[in-house]
Structure 1
Amino acid sequence: MAEEFIYMGEPNPVLPPGAIRVIVDESVNIIPAYAFKWNRTIVELICHVGVKKVGGWAFDRCSSLRRVIMPGVEVVEEDAFFSCTALSYVECDKLEKIEEGAFCFCSSLRSINLPSAKIVEGMAFSECEADLSSAKIVGEYAFAHCEALKGAIFGDKLETIKSWAFDNCYSLEQITIPLKDGMFDHDNIFQGCEELKRVVLVGGEILQVNIAIAAFLMEKWRKDMNDVIDSINQILPDTPAGYEDYDDDDVGEKAFAIREPE
């Protein structure tokens, strides 16, 4: 019985008995949604560099899948490798976008190198680890319940970490992130991270976690206040001394400005 199966891009491939290794044919550049969903025998997936996308749920609950080689893939869609509980090795150096739940519940995936990742959507890596030094956006619950995660390093390209991103990462001890306006949108990002003691800013400065969270939220508050002030300044132009009423649509009922004589 042949262990290898050459995949030609069909939406619902039928693997012969004994096939445990899927090799994607050179003619295929997209693995379609649901292609191998719930397959129990695949152990290894090998893609050539021309494969650019793995569709949603393509390998959903492939419980024997252990090794994935996809050097040219740029997008992994929603739940593509959901609950591949045996998956322990992924090669994906060109991967830029990881959609919601893409590697969720891949509990054997202890580490993954993603040097090109820019967007990580919600629950993308729940219960596993990842190095995301090039990520720009980390979605809600992206690393939730990654109980083995001890450290996370982000580069200066990171712009936003959304709510609950590291919820209940019990082992997380240190994280490296840049200090930017709007980086955090809530104080629950590290909820349940009882071992997290310090935050390292890109550039080397080390802060206690509570101070870091306060600093990030202060940056957000400062930006929000500046936006409010700018909007008020646009509504209230320079006027002569005294009182002047304004249209309700601009500043609300009974709104007025007071100007002191020069």
Structure 2
Amino acid sequence: MPYFWNSDTDLFDKSPWFDLKKEVRKVILEPGISTVSPGAFAWFSSLKTVEASGVVRICSGAFFECKELEDIETGNLSLVDVGSFEGCVSLAKVGERNSKIGLSGNEIRFVDDFAFSRCGSLERVSLPNLKMIGEGAFFKCSSITSVIAEKLEFAGDNAFFKCSSIEKFKVGNPCAFGKGAIKDIPKGAVMK
């Protein structure tokens, strides 16, 4: 997939399908597409589901502010860039076809800054091989009740800020936390 990024303005350029943003309800990314370009589907207001089983990287802002997006099926996803799903308030499931509700994936190693910020419908995070979480990655994900990332080595500043519903938080030992990374998580929920 080509990049829709304007280096002169440092902003997303409109994708060729941008004018369909109010009509598209489902996106199927065929096998062979390994990367979703920056801003490729940003502001697609009617998008509900995405099938992306061959995708290994979702670039910056790829699904930014897709407020109706509920479900994205992935396979070998390993990298979620800055703001990829930021503002996807209905997003409840990111993972393989038969995975449970929440964010899951054995291959995901890095979740960048604000990647899932304001995804208020996300209820759990289960990423067994996750190594790093960027700044504000799960900011205001107020429905998350469980985080399991046993190989996590670092969570950036405010990574889980305003995630006060977390009941279970199991991470790697040792794991370094940036400023305010776990500030709003109830103390009894943190397990190393």
TM surpasses 0.5: yes
Match of 2:33 among 51, 64, 67: 51
Distance in 2, matches of 1:51 and 1:154, equals 27
Could you say which residue in structure 1 is the equivalent of 2:98?
A: none
Could you say which residue in structure 2 is the equivalent of 1:151?
A: 146
- Does structure 1 retain, via aligned residues, the 8 Å contact 2:54–2:76? yes
Larger proportion of strand: 2
Against the structure 1 CA distance between its residues 31 and 106, is the aligned structure 2 distance closer, same or farther, given a 3 Å change threshold? farther
Local SS of the residue matching 1:69: strand
Offset at 1:187? 4.7
Superposition CA RMSD, Å: 1.7
Local SS of the residue matching 1:65: coil
Could you say which residue in structure 2 is the equivalent of 1:71?
A: 53
Structure 1 unmatched ranges of 5 or more:
1-29, 202-262
After superposition, residues 54-133 of structure 1 pair within 5 angstroms as 54-110=36-92, 111-128=102-119, 129=122, 130-133=125-128
Per-residue CA distance 1:70-128 (angstroms, 9 max, x = gap): 00101111010001111111111211111100001111112232221111101001122
Local SS of the residue matching 1:82: coil
Distance in 2, matches of 1:66 and 1:31, equals 23
User: Percent identity between the aligned chains?
Assistant: 26
Structure 2 unmatched ranges of 5 or more:
5-13, 93-101
Match of 1:191 among 165, 170, 183: 183
Greater C-alpha radius of gyration: 1
Distance in 2, matches of 1:59 and 1:42, equals 10
- Does structure 1 retain, via aligned residues, the 8 Å contact 2:166–2:189? no
Local SS of the residue matching 1:197: helix
- Does structure 1 retain, via aligned residues, the 8 Å contact 2:56–2:76? yes
Against the structure 1 CA distance between its residues 53 and 67, is the aligned structure 2 distance closer, same or farther, given a 3 Å change threshold? same
Distance in 2, matches of 1:116 and 1:107, equals 24
Offset at 1:173? 1.6
Per-residue CA distance 1:43-79 (angstroms, 9 max, x = gap): 0011122110010011101011000000010111101
Could you say which residue in structure 2 is the equivalent of 1:168?
A: 162
Q: TM-score w.r.t. structure 2 length?
A: 0.81
Range moving further from structure 2, 132-141 or 98-107: 132-141
Give the partner amino acid of 2:114.
M
Against the structure 1 CA distance between its residues 192 and 71, is the aligned structure 2 distance closer, same or farther, given a 3 Å change threshold? same
Against the structure 1 CA distance between its residues 112 and 186, is the aligned structure 2 distance closer, same or farther, given a 3 Å change threshold? closer
Distance in 1, matches of 2:88 and 2:187, equals 23
Higher relative contact order (CA 8 A, sep 6+): 2
Number of corresponding residues = 168
Could you say which residue in structure 1 is the equivalent of 2:99?
A: none
Could you say which residue in structure 1 is the equivalent of 2:137?
A: 142
Match of 2:23 among 38, 41, 50: 41
Give the partner amino acid of 2:155.
I
Distance in 1, matches of 2:91 and 2:172, equals 26
Larger proportion of helix: 1
